Amino acid sequence: MWSLLGIEQAIGMELTESMAMLPAAAVSAVVFANPCAQYFAVGKITADQVSDYATRKDVPLEKVQKWLEPMLKCAFAAPAQFLPASCVSSARAA
């Protein structure tokens, strides 16, 4: 398929003998569309999930909040005891 599509000539990516792509950061995929396919997005992470993860990994909550900031459902601008009510209710339910 690689030769058939002329990938190396077209964009300069090549395959090694073990079928690894060069350059190493190269990514390719064969994608088949299906009109019946259902796509989904992973939801935002809640306060209880962040707290649980920090506990399981034995990492300070503030550090985990910083790592996961783009995926958080709630804004963690203050220490955990001062979370917004919407975040605290989900954390207390756990």
Summarize pLDDT for 12-43 with one digit per residue, the tens: 899 899 988 899 888 888 888 888 877 777 78
Is residue 88 over pLDDT 60? no
With a threshold of 0.85, does the pTM exceed it? Answer: no
**Structure-token pair, residue 19:** 């079928």
> Given this model, what pLDDT does residue 94 score?
47
The per-residue pLDDT for range 41-64, each reduced to its tens digit, is 778 888 888 889 999 999 999 899
Q: What is the DSSP letter of 43?
A: P
Measure the CA–CA gap between 72 and 12, rounded to whole angstroms.
39
Cβ(63)–Cβ(80) under 8 Å?
no
| Residue 81, pLDDT above cutoff 90 | no
Q: Name beta bridge partners: 21.
A: 15
